[in-house]
């Protein structure tokens, strides 16, 4: 879950003083755009005249930025890293980069080496000296061992043959100032092709200011960037040493998409981007002239999809909640049995799968380790596999048979918002498409659903106008120690999601429950200091939710209701009401989650929390 950036460039060694644009500053700026991946410590290293200069600092990147102020390491080649600790506490010794015994090789790493202790013991017996508690350090010592007799690329290849677990690494050699090496296994890594400079990075935002042309390094691949001349040759081999093709892609995002654009936090910016990204995602999968659903990517699989007799959705965290919405939609529209599994449990549960099972993996980053493992387990059992993902070229998109993209753009805040609503958008439209194949959705109902979907972005805009009112509710209840969220059917996943948002960014305990479960335990918690957020929009379970609200009020509980516009009755019950425009129940989660996101956001702000980078969490969970 760490962030990596590497650069080899033909810029002046010290950079241009007028623009402060040397390699060192590129590394620092890139790490700022990757800090969501980890922020326990950070470091950079540059090579110049056959030696390394490195700076490290614990805490957030601002500490490293301060450490290099007026004392920036110089060179044409360098690596940067921002850490999310797995082995060893945050410290300068454990911060990356790590070095060979003779300081001739520097390395940064994202992932976990599961057999590091065995390798470390063996290397120590051979005379290698270790300076950290990390699993990472053994990699650079292995490379050092092989570099005595082999060139850089072969040294790296031989070293990683010993590794078990997951890794993306960047490696530079002090006496080879034109060689930058990257390798990956179960962790993301991209190569960026600039103007007389080449980059490696964990994620696209790190390099967007410099290039949109990227190579997505595939599983078990090693890339050697040779900058001996201005052409910057990229040589890719697999772990067995065989030459691999080099495919260049163009990123559609722009650098502004990864900046705050005047918002105080990325999370708020991303909440307010939801009308645009839901519009983009829905229109990509709709024919607006005929008001029908279209999925050209699935045309070649239509026969297989028509024969599916069971669907399994796998995901983690917020994407898991989107999968729960998908379950309701698929069962209602397709009339098929649908299961939702935590990806972290899926492969260990020995799932029963066959060629008539469709396994759908949902992931924002496409690099979530557990979700990747789940899709690979499904492939091994010959199931059909499909990914719903936001990142072009990510690992999941290469492992699944086909991918449906969500077009949310870069999501920087650790707490996912726009990724969630675009995932729900995609999974509902996919449900409609599968229902068409199965002939369980009439043309009339399809057109009606499409019209309502096209109307959603404007309705989201209307919900966002309630931002100030929701901030007032946050101010009123910011000091409570517990929240409960209740709902039924399509909005039950939002009860879970609302509670998750409150927990992860405000550090306030919150739980989501099915409203019908209140009498089975949770009602015991209710008193006059305990707020319950109830999602009670018009639906065929509206009366049931109203009954559950009345149970809470009978015990003097506080109720904040998310209700349909014009619902006068609910105002006689609730202590506060947030109204959303009327929409069919199947689409309502896309609207009702917006107030929940804003309530969590404003609560966190008023409590002084670090909204975009909550403690102990990182954006992409790329290790188990």
CA distance 607 to 599: 12
Judgement on whether residues 196 and 293 belong to the same structural domain of the protein: no
Last residue within a domain, chosen from 224, 255, 286:
255
The answer to whether position 436 is within a domain reads yes
Judgement on whether residues 37 and 114 belong to the same structural domain of the protein: yes
pLDDT digits (tens, 9 = 90+) for 326-380: 999 999 999 999 999 999 999 888 889 999 999 999 999 898 889 999 999 999 9
Has residue 16 got a pLDDT over 70? no
CA distance 113 to 166: 6
Has residue 18 got a pLDDT over 50? no
Q: What is the mean pLDDT of residues 454-469?
A: 97
pLDDT digits (tens, 9 = 90+) for 498-545: 999 999 999 999 999 998 887 788 787 888 888 999 999 999 999 999
Judgement on whether residues 172 and 299 belong to the same structural domain of the protein: no
CA distance 320 to 313: 8
The answer to whether position 260 is within a domain reads no
Length of the chain: 624
| Residue 403 pLDDT class (50, 70, 90 cuts) | very high
Judgement on whether residues 322 and 306 belong to the same structural domain of the protein: yes
- Beta-bridged to residue 3, according to DSSP, are 82
Q: What is the mean pLDDT of residues 139-164?
A: 97
Has residue 492 got a pLDDT over 90? yes
Catalytic residues: 2, 619
Contact 282, 273 (CB under 8 A): no
| Residue 253 pLDDT class (50, 70, 90 cuts) | confident
Interacting residues of 422 by C-beta distance below 8 A, sequence separation 6+: 277, 278, 281, 390, 406, 407, 408
Judgement on whether residues 16 and 77 belong to the same structural domain of the protein: yes
The answer to whether position 621 is within a domain reads no
Longest distance between any two alpha carbons in the chain, whole Å: 80
Q: Mark out the alpha helices in 41-91 (DSSP H runs).
A: 61-68
The answer to whether position 612 is within a domain reads no
| Residue 301 pLDDT class (50, 70, 90 cuts) | very high
Judgement on whether residues 241 and 141 belong to the same structural domain of the protein: yes
CA distance 359 to 311: 6
pLDDT digits (tens, 9 = 90+) for 31-82: 998 887 777 899 999 999 999 999 999 998 999 999 999 899 999 999 999 9
pLDDT score, position 103: 96
3-state SS, residue 23:
helix
Has residue 19 got a pLDDT over 60? no
Judgement on whether residues 550 and 431 belong to the same structural domain of the protein: no
| Residue 264 pLDDT class (50, 70, 90 cuts) | very high
At 567, list the tokens: 């619902």
Task: Report the number of distinct structural domains present in the chain.
Answer: 3
- Beta-bridged to residue 561, according to DSSP, are 534, 577
pLDDT digits (tens, 9 = 90+) for 199-234: 999 988 899 999 999 999 998 999 999 998 877 899
121 DSSP 8-state letter: H
Last residue within a domain, chosen from 461, 476, 498:
461
- Chain centre distance of CA 65: 25
pLDDT score, position 624: 58
Judgement on whether residues 203 and 249 belong to the same structural domain of the protein: yes
CA distance 293 to 450: 7
pLDDT digits (tens, 9 = 90+) for 79-108: 999 997 778 888 999 999 999 999 999 999
pLDDT score, position 523: 80
Judgement on whether residues 457 and 474 belong to the same structural domain of the protein: no
The domain that holds 575 is classified in CATH as: 3.40.50.10490
pLDDT score, position 111: 87
Contact 595, 463 (CB under 8 A): yes
More confident residue, 17 or 130: 130
Q: Which of 103-112, 141-150, 164-173, 389-398 has the lowest mean pLDDT?
A: 389-398
Residue of 206, 173, 229, 155 lying closest to 46 (CA atoms): 173
Judgement on whether residues 30 and 8 belong to the same structural domain of the protein: yes
More confident residue, 521 or 447: 447
pLDDT digits (tens, 9 = 90+) for 552-601: 988 889 999 999 999 999 999 999 999 999 999 999 999 999 999 999 99
The answer to whether position 131 is within a domain reads yes
The answer to whether position 17 is within a domain reads yes
Q: Strand pairing of 402-405 and 482-487?
A: unpaired
Residue span of the structural domain in which 528 resides: 467-606
The answer to whether position 298 is within a domain reads yes
Judgement on whether residues 67 and 194 belong to the same structural domain of the protein: yes
Cross-sheet strand order for the sheet of 509-514: 509-514, 482-487, 531-536, 558-564, 576-580
pLDDT score, position 495: 98
Judgement on whether residues 453 and 517 belong to the same structural domain of the protein: no
Has residue 259 got a pLDDT over 80? no
Interacting residues of 95 by C-beta distance below 8 A, sequence separation 6+: 41, 42, 43, 56, 57, 58, 81, 83
The answer to whether position 169 is within a domain reads yes
Tell me the CA end-to-end span of the chain in Å, nearest whole number: 10
pTM: 0.79
pLDDT score, position 242: 96
What is the Cα gyration radius of the chain? 26
Show the beta-strand stretches assigned E in 202-256.
213-216, 221-226, 233-238, 249-250
């Amino acid at each position: 879950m760490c962030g990596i950036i590497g650069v080899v460039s033909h810029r002046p060694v010290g950079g241009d003083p007028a623009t402060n644009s040397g390699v060192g500053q590129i590394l620092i700026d890139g790490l700022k755009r990757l800090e969501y991946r980890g922020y326990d410590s950070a470091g950079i290293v540059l090579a110049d005249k056959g030696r390394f200069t490195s700076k490290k600092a614990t805490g957030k990147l601002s500490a490293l930025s301060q450490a290099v102020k007026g004392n920036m390491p110089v060179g044409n080649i360098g690596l940067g890293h921002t850490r999310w600790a797995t082995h060893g506490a945050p410290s300068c010794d454990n911060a990356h980069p790590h070095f060979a015994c003779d300081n001739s090789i520097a390395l940064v790493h994202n992932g976990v080496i599961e057999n590091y202790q065995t390798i470390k013991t063996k290397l120590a017996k051979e005379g290698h000296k270790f300076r950290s508690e990390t699993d990472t350090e053994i990699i650079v010592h292995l490379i050092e061992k092989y570099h005595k007799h082999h060139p850089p690329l072969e040294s790296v290849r031989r070293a990683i043959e010993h590794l078990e677990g997951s890794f993306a690494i960047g490696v530079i050699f002090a006496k080879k100032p034109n060689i930058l090496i990257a390798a990956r296994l179960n962790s993301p890594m991209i190569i960026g092709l600039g103007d007389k400079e080449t980059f490696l990075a964990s994620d696209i935002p790190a390099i967007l200011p410099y290039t949109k042309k990227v190579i997505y390094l595939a599983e078990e691949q090693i890339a050697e960037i040779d900058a001996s001349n201005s052409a910057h040759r990229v040589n890719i081999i697999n772990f067995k040493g065989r030459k691999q093709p080099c495919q260049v892609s163009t990123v559609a995002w722009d650098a502004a998409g990864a900046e705050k654009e005047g918002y105080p936090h990325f999370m708020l910016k991303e909440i307010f981007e939801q009308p645009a990204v839901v519009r983009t995602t829905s229109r990509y999968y709709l024919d607006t002239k005929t008001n029908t659903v279209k999925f050209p990517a699935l045309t070649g699989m239509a026969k297989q999809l028509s024969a599916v007799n069971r669907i399994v959705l796998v995901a983690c965290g917020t994407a898991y909640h989107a999968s729960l919405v998908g379950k309701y939609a698929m069962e209602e529209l397709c009339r098929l049995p649908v299961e939702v599994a935590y990806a972290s449990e899926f492969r260990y549960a020995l799932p029963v799968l066959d060629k008539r099972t469709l396994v759908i993996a949902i992931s924002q980053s496409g690099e979530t380790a557990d979700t990747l493992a789940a899709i690979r387990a499904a492939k091994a059992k010959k199931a059909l596999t499909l990914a719903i993902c936001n990142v072009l070229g990510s690992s999941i998109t290469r492992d699944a048979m086909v991918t449906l993209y969500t077009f949310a753009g870069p999501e920087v805040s650790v707490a996912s918002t726009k990724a969630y609503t675009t995932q729900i958008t995609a999974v509902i439209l996919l449900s409609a498409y599968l229902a068409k194949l199965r002939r369980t959705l009439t043309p009339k109902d399809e057109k009606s659903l499409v019209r309502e979907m096209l109307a959603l972005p404007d309705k989201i805009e209307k919900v966002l106008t309630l931002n100030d009112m929701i901030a007032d509710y946050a101010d009123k209840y910011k000091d409570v120690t517990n929240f409960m969220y209740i709902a039924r059917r399509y909005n039950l996943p939002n009860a879970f999601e609302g509670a998750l948002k409150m927990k992860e960014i405000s550090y306030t305990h919150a739980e989501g429950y099915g409203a019908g479960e209140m009498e089975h335990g949770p009602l015991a918690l209710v008193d006059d200091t305990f707020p319950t957020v109830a999602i009670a929009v018009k639906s065929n379970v509206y009366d049931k939710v109203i009954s559950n609200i009345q149970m809470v009020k009978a015990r003097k509980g506080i109720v904040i209701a998310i209700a349909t516009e014009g619902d006068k009755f609910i105002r006689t019950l609730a202590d506060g009401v947030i109204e959303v425009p009327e929409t069919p129940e199947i689409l309502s989660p896309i609207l009702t989650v917006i107030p929940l996101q804003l309530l969590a956001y404003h609560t966190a702000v008023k409590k002084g929390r670090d909204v975009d980078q909550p403690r102990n969490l990182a954006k992409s969970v790329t290790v188990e």
